[in-house]
């Protein structure tokens, strides 16, 4: 379902007005999204306020376990940060404009940087479960583009350039922080699929042949919307499992969540170091 631009703009304004009424004068500059099985505050995060999605006008409510549906506002080194704990997925039945709505609202509130994390399946056989991957590019295999429909000219251009989606500076910062933390971090290409079924061996082989290093069911819609808004973007995948199409091992979503929670500490350490670094600029 396509919503007219003026209606979408009104929805955004409603949500922004509500959040302004609940927050102090300092509006967030960075938004961090957390993926499946991820739930933490970076070190040094001074929590100011938590607002359930259900309280915010026109926000939806996640239906997936471990996506609690709260936005946390606070500070790191006097820089205001928003943490989206829970995201919306296409497979849940949400419309594209609903999936990207939080990013558009947070941008209008003041955020200029998006740090998007997710839990993904590894396609690169050199990866190991529990490792991290900084996203350098992506392949949209989700079957839709969140910018479909009439363009909202006040947000961005009709045909946004996607030649350099992920910030080279933020990527370099993340890799340097990983080195300083002693954490092994890969760089690679992420591909998004609609889900909710996990990939078959043939699909895994196809995605690997396309050049993808990791696969998931999120992130790309929000990133496209953020690029449309001219935000600076960093993407990080926590690799929950590695799929070898020639030696395929069945996996359940419970396995994915368990591995994400088990490996969350190194993601938390990396993001803590990264946010400490970029908020001191």
**Domain count of the fold of the chain:** 1
Question: Looking at the DSSP assignment, which residues form a beta bridge with residue 118?
Answer: 237
The Cα diameter of the chain in Å comes to 56
- Predicted pLDDT at 208: 96
26: CB partners within 8 A, 6+ apart: 75, 80
- Provide the CATH number for the domain around residue 103: 3.40.50.1580
End-to-end CA distance of the chain: 42
Domain hosting 236: range is 5-278
Tens digits of residue pLDDT in 183-234? 989 999 999 999 999 999 999 999 999 999 999 999 999 999 999 999 999 9
The pTM for the full model equals 0.96
């Amino acid at each position: 379902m396509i919503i007219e631009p003026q209606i979408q703009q009104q929805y955004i304004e409603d949500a922004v007005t509500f959040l302004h009424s609940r927050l102090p004068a300092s509006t967030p500059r960075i938004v961090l999204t957390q993926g499946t099985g991820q739930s933490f505050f970076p070190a040094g995060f001074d929590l100011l306020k938590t607002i359930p999605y259900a309280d915010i006008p026109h926000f939806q409510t996640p239906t997936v376990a471990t996506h609690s549906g709260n936005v946390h506002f606070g500070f790191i080194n006097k820089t205001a940060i928003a943490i989206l704990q829970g995201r919306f997925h296409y497979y849940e039945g949400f419309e594209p404009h609903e999936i990207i709505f939080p990013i558009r609202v947070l941008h209008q509130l003041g955020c200029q940087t998006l740090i998007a994390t997710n839990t993904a399946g590894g396609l690169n056989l050199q990866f190991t479960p529990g490792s991290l991957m900084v996203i350098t590019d992506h392949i949209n295999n989700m079957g839709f583009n969140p910018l479909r429909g009439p363009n909202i000219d006040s947000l961005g251009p009709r045909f946004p350039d996607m030649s350099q989606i992920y910030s080279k500076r933020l990527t370099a910062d993340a890799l340097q922080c990983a080195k300083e933390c002693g954490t092994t971090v890969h760089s690679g290409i992420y591909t998004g699929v609609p889900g909710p079924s996990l990939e078959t061996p043939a699909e895994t082989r196809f995605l690997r042949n396309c050049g993808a290093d990791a696969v998931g069911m999120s992130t790309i819609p929000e990133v496209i919307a953020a690029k449309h808004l001219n935000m600076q973007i960093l993407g990080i995948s926590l690799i929950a499992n590695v799929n070898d199409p020639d030696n395929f091992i069945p996996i359940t979503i419970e396995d994915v969540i368990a591995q994400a929670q088990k490996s969350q500490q190194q993601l938390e350490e990396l993001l803590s170091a990264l946010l400490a670094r970029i908020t001191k600029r």
